[in-house]
Chain A
Amino acid sequence: MDPRDRTTRGGEALEVVAGNGLLDRRAFLRGGAAFAAVVSGYTLTKSAAAEPLADDPWSRMPGAVSPPYEQRSRFEEKVARTLSNPQGETRTSHARTPHHLLNGTFTPNGLHFTIVHSGTPDIDPDRHRLVIHGLVKRPLVFTLDTLARYPMLSRMTFVECGGNSAPMFSKEPIQASVQALHGLVSCAEWTGVPLSTLLEETGVDPKAKWLIAEGADSLALSRSFPLSKALDDAMIALYQNGERLMPGNGYPMRLLLPGWEGNMNVKFLRRLKLVEEPGMSYYETRTYSQILPSGKAYRFYFLQEVKSFITHPSPGLALKGPGYYEISGIAYSGNGRISKVVVSADGGRSWAEAALQTPVLSKAFTRFRMPWRWDGGPAVLQSRAWDEAGNVQPTRAQFVAVRGETQKVPPVLGFPNQHYNSITSWAVDSKGEVRHVYA
């Protein structure tokens, strides 16, 4: 026996824990070397290298100077957001996160999703102001400089558009990548001033029950949110993953309402007015209210409910022959921490519990991982998440029974409805190609 054939080395065999080759997630807990020896699928029975190894040109001369702000490798330029409105026509622009080309839990700032309804304003931070007024004891105005002197905190939080995953309202599965289906959610570490600190300073009139937040963009985008959220975990975010907010994410400051509908996290925030009743703005009473099959509509959905989807593999990431793969994806809930994710490789007939990458943080992306040995046959991959409040991600059938589906197949960039959170299914065929299916 060739000693380089590592599949025959003495490592312990991994238990198959569910149909179609799902392996025991506890493999991840055992330390790298033993695990790699067992499952990495090496079959080096013959030398893989046709030529002896030699230095490449970049190893034979000094490299580039470090730039003041480093750009990624030129080989990574395909890792990019997809744009719904690249020419900047007079309509909303969406830039979607390429989840299938990323790993981990933070979204790099240049790849964080953005939606802008009237373009991104070019705000001079020295001239920006935040006013807090209305039903307060002392109406106050803050500059960016003064806010930066307040006690800050950092929290990792996902932000998700209420319309993320909307193509899955289609009665037929739309053939699209995870980026097109689920690219309107991202996760970052946000640093800023708790809104409760500023409200302590203004004082709150007991009559106040809501706040109306407004941006400095041309349409002065405005959303109402309850005072209870303002006093709970709302933040005026100034930093995104350690640097100042990206312009498309609200530079120089945005409202952060962890776990709540993206549109409510008002960007370019310039005004908060405390009021007795919600303003019933265009975006809250029209755009982000959802029609139900009965003809009634939800109002104030607010919460982004428990969701998960597999990013690896996914459409566009074909499997290259049978063997070991890591099934991996993202789970999150606006209700708190993810408590469990299960994965199926046989369309939901059998399930196995995935490993959750720690730390598992409240209202943040949790990366789940599941070892898998693909036998080369057809498989349907699914993930399903639970949150600590006991909420479970619905199957598509359960979801559609309540929320309905469209009678026609909508365009992939359309938003037939919102707040979609069912299980996503990827079918793997015998060639290793991955397609979106309903299962």
Chain B
Amino acid sequence: MSTPKVQIVVVVLALASAPALAEGPGLGKLIDPPEIAAWDISILPDGTGLPPGSGTSAQGARIFAQKCAMCHGENGKGGAFAAVVGGRPLTDGIDTVKTVANFWGYSTTLFDFIRRAMPWQQPRTLANDEVYALTAYILALNKLIDENEAMNAQTLPKVRMPNRDGFIIRFPDKL
């Protein structure tokens, strides 16, 4: 008996809400992917977003000496800023310095951070080949890849970082 009434209510709500949506501000301007390309530097751990290009550890070593060693030390051993090689076991203490070798879960993070933030005084001035080369250099320094292995969009996501499974999602219900 009450069913028709309920249906009427639903119809009225639907009619009331439809015009409201149509009258939204709608002030955003459409933008095509090519227009975003210069900003779109996001990379996912599976390699999505990695650009074309390639680099080896030997190439990276030369760039590092020229553009990175003044802060990160000769051969990445640390200077005014963090070392990019080595690291103590995480069981040493809750304040253990987190490094590429002992902590980082994904190799793609290394490419991403070098590309977006380094060198610190001239970020986003490195060519993609240079970023791949520096990534290869740091991974090789830490013996995470072979010295001669080139890094590119295909090889980089396949590098398995030692601490990949070292993480616990704190509040899974928030994700």
B31: which of A133, A147, A273 is its contact (CB, 8 Å)?
A133
Residues of A within 8 A of B113 (CB): 281-282
- The verdict on B77 contacting chain A, using a C-beta distance below 8 Å, is no
Tell me the B94-146 residues at the A interface (CB within 8 Å): 94-96, 98, 103-106, 108-109, 112-113, 116-117, 120-121, 123-124
Indicate the size class of the contact surface on chain B. 35 or more
Residues of B within 8 A of A218 (CB): 117, 120, 123
In the complex, the chain B residue whose C-beta lies closest to that of A287 is B98
Q: Which segment, of A13-21, A27-35, A291-299, faces chain B?
A: A291-299
Nearest-Cβ distance from residue A64 to partner chain B, whole angstroms: 43
Residues of A within 8 A of B45 (CB): 277, 279-280
| A side interface size, CB within 8 A | 70
Residues of A within 8 A of B40 (CB): 133, 271, 273
A138 to B108, CA, bound (A): 28
- The verdict on A407 contacting chain B, using a C-beta distance below 8 Å, is yes
Residues of B within 8 A of A138 (CB): 28, 30
A298 to B89, CA, bound (A): 16
- The verdict on A198 contacting chain B, using a C-beta distance below 8 Å, is yes
- The verdict on A132 contacting chain B, using a C-beta distance below 8 Å, is yes
A291: which of B27, B43, B90, B170 is its contact (CB, 8 Å)?
B90
- The verdict on A222 contacting chain B, using a C-beta distance below 8 Å, is yes
Tell me the A386-436 residues at the B interface (CB within 8 Å): 403-407, 410, 414, 416-417
Known: A280-B109, A291-B95, A291-B98. A139 touches B168 (CB 8 A): no
Residues of B within 8 A of A118 (CB): 117, 120, 123
In the complex, the chain B residue whose C-beta lies closest to that of A410 is B95
Using an 8 Å CB-CB cutoff, how does the interface string of A251-295 with B read, 1 for contact, 0 for none?
A: 000000000000000000011010111111110011101111111
A140 to B106, CA, bound (A): 30
Using an 8 Å CB-CB cutoff, how does the interface string of B133-175 with A read, 1 for contact, 0 for none?
A: 0000000000000000000000000000001001111110011
Residues of A within 8 A of B109 (CB): 280-282, 285-286
Tell me the B32-91 residues at the A interface (CB within 8 Å): 32-33, 36, 39-46, 48, 71, 80-81, 89-91
Known: A133-B40, A275-B42. A295 touches B166 (CB 8 A): yes
Known: A219-B123, A277-B46, A298-B167. A139 touches B36 (CB 8 A): yes
Contact B42 A212 (CB under 8 A): yes
Contact B166 A279 (CB under 8 A): no
In the complex, the chain B residue whose C-beta lies closest to that of A147 is B27
Residues of B within 8 A of A151 (CB): 25
Contact A219 B116 (CB under 8 A): yes
Nearest-Cβ distance from residue A327 to partner chain B, whole angstroms: 32
Nearest-Cβ distance from residue B60 to partner chain A, whole angstroms: 18
Residue among B96, B104, B116 facing the most chain A CB atoms (10 A cut-off)? B116
- The verdict on A90 contacting chain B, using a C-beta distance below 8 Å, is yes
- The verdict on A146 contacting chain B, using a C-beta distance below 8 Å, is yes
A407 to B93, CA, bound (A): 7
A301 to B167, CA, bound (A): 11
Contact A298 B96 (CB under 8 A): no
Residues of A within 8 A of B106 (CB): 280, 285
Residues of A within 8 A of B123 (CB): 118, 218-220
A-B contact pairs, 11 of them (CB 8 A): A146-B25, A198-B28, A219-B120, A277-B45, A286-B104, A291-B95, A291-B98, A294-B91, A295-B89, A295-B166, A301-B170
- Which 5 residue pairs of A and B lie closest in terms of their CB atoms, listed nearest first? A140-B28, A416-B95, A219-B117, A295-B91, A299-B167
- Beyond contacts A226-B175, A280-B106: 9 other A-B pairs, Cβ-Cβ < 8 A, are A133-B40, A220-B41, A229-B174, A281-B112, A286-B98, A289-B103, A298-B168, A299-B170, A303-B171
